Amino acid sequence: MIKLTDVVMQFPGHLALDRLNLSVEAGHVYGLLGPNGAGKSTTINLVTGLLKPTSGSIQIDGVDVVAEPERGRGMLAYVSESVALYPHLTGVENLMLFSRLAGRKLYASEAYECLERAGLQGDAHARRVDTYSKGMRQKVGLAIALAKEARAVVLDEPSSGLDPSASHDLAVRVRELAASGLAVLMASHDLFRAKETCDTVGLLVQGTLRAEWAASEVKDRDLEAAYLEIVTDREPAPQAAGGK
């Protein structure tokens, strides 16, 4: 569903991505891990069409997002670390407005349904967004993806700044999004939340995908040890199950 093939991103004096190959199937969550400066944000910006690659191809459900950017964006939803919503509007009103901007008329009943599926408590649907917590705003972001009928969703550090309970609840909702058939690409610094949420985790270092693991096959300690080994060039750690 989301496929990057031999993607190179060259900035003046800096190679941000070096022949990146990455794919996310429908119904799966892929966690993209890596230290600051690894290329995660560049990857997100390329998939969402904010940047054009120096070379290589990026496809969403077979559509080349460089050659057909409008069509590509129409199949994609993006949830940032801090979801930008209109604070003076309610959750329902925000959802209806963003759907209209995406070219789809959404009825209030559909908006309520999407917010409920995203996990936003019912008594908040008709409240102004400026009364929401960060976790609640993140759920509105997920609801926008549902309302847009996106085929793929990109999440950029979605659990940053959330308390453990809200972070866990968001992970559950992301899993439910994938179970409905969406492909989810999630950039994160949080190894353990990524393991809980994702089917596959990949480690990006200096623009290169250095390793991938099946999240269900690797223990927390092994994932952390392997991460530190690769990122900091420590002494070799025990091989994580499912590692490449």
Q: CA–CA separation, 226 vs 243, rounded Å? A: 9
Mean pLDDT of 194-221: 87
**129-169 confidence digits (pLDDT tens):** 999 999 999 999 999 888 888 899 999 988 888 888 888 88
| Nearest partner of 72 among 4, 8, 7, judged by Cα | 4
- How much is the mean pLDDT over the chain? 88
Least confident of 20-34, 74-88, 213-227, 229-243: 229-243
Q: CA–CA separation, 118 vs 196, rounded Å? A: 18
Query: What pLDDT is stored for residue 16 in this prediction?
Result: 96
Query: What pLDDT is stored for residue 235 in this prediction?
Result: 44
Query: What pLDDT is stored for residue 44 in this prediction?
Result: 94
The secondary structure element, H or E, covering residue 107 is none
Highest mean pLDDT: which range of 23-37, 183-197, 204-218: 23-37
Q: CA–CA separation, 105 vs 217, rounded Å? A: 43
Query: What pLDDT is stored for residue 244 in this prediction?
Result: 40
The secondary structure element, H or E, covering residue 62 is none
Query: What pLDDT is stored for residue 233 in this prediction?
Result: 66
**Sheet of strand 14-24, all strands in order from the earlier edge strand to the far edge:** 14-24, 2-11, 55-60, 63-64
Bridge-based pairing state of the strands 208-214 and 200-205: antiparallel
Expressed in angstroms, the distance from the first to the final Cα of the chain is: 22
The three state secondary structure string of 121-164 is CHHHCCCEHHHCCHHHHHHHHHHHHHHCCCCEEEEECCCCCCCH
pLDDT > 90 fraction of the chain, expressed in percent and rounded: 58
Whether the per-residue pLDDT at 5 is higher than 50: the answer is yes
| Nearest partner of 174 among 215, 207, 213, 212, judged by Cα | 215
**214-243 confidence digits (pLDDT tens):** 888 877 667 778 778 888 765 444 444 444
Whether the per-residue pLDDT at 94 is higher than 50: the answer is yes
Rounded to 5 degrees, φ, ψ at 76 are -125, 140
Q: CA–CA separation, 109 vs 164, rounded Å? A: 31
Query: What pLDDT is stored for residue 149 in this prediction?
Result: 85
Structure tokens at 109: 């009943």
Sole residue written with tokens 């550090």: 157
| Nearest partner of 16 among 26, 7, 25, judged by Cα | 7
Residues 6+ apart with CB under 8 A from 83: 137, 138, 140, 141
